[in-house]
Amino acid sequence: MPHRPVALVTGANRGIGREVCRQLVPRGFRVVLTSRNVVKGRGASAKLGVDYAPLDVDSDDSIGRLAQTLRERHPDGLDVLVCNAGIALEGFDAAIARATIDTNYFGVACTIDAVLPQLRPGARIVIVSSGSGDRGRLSPALRAAFSAPDLDRPRLDGLMHRFVADVEAGHHEAAGWPTSAYAVSKIGATALAGVIARELAADPRRPLINAVCPGWVRTDMGGPHAERPVDQGAAGVVWAATLPANGPTGRFFRDGAPAEW
């Protein structure tokens, strides 16, 4: 019996994540929809006719349980991971900075780390990022640090920790950071795709990992005045999740085209 590919989508009880699940089903995927809110997640999965697993990307225990669930339900492995879970909080202070970086950057990184051993040959990883994560908002020194061709995980993690520490110390602007935790978290998330792509360059499974900007989408997070319908925003994510084997990796895209960040 031919293998039916398995796709895991985080933060998928609503918005872009849910729409990504919906678009993957007719493409032949067995979809695992995950969410922090179990009631809403189960409701969304039932309506879409997909599998459900709880996941709170801020919890190492929850991420570990998800990895175990995948091993039990899908022992043949995972073909697609879409890291969509994220937050955009109002205001700006040290608590918001820490929460945003923990979810939008470290939550993504930890989820990828946890399921990486279960990726099948030719797997795709998609990090849902944002054009708001523009390196032009950083000081020249920070921009150079994020853009370094040899940037690795310890240094990238350190940059994200440094942002939170600078906000806590009250001198983030003097240190060259923008006053937006969301923007910094997405700068980090986009950089993470490039870093992990380099880490996996010698992996015989040849996985592809890319970051995608879905645009400003009419969701609960994007608001009713956003310029794009949710299906259009999700389409770029699905494109990256279904790239051919010779597709790009370690890049940033919008609507299937290279994007600046």
| Identity of the residue numbered 37 | N
C-alpha span between 92 and 104 (Å, rounded): 15
Structural tokens at position 56: 């709170």
The residue written with tokens 């986009």 in the block is 190
Terminal C-alpha separation, the chain? 43
- Strands of 78-83's sheet in order across: 51-54, 30-35, 6-9, 78-83, 119-128, 208-212, 252-254, 257-258
C-alpha span between 32 and 93 (Å, rounded): 35
- Rounded-to-10 torsion of CA 36, 39, 44, 49: 110
Q: Which residues, listed in sequence order, are joined to residue 252 by a DSSP beta bridge?
A: 211
Alpha-carbon torsion 60, 8, 83, 228, what sign? negative
| 71: helix, strand or coil | helix
C-alpha span between 98 and 134 (Å, rounded): 19
Positions annotated as catalytic residues are 182
- Rounded-to-10 torsion of CA 119, 161, 13, 217: -110
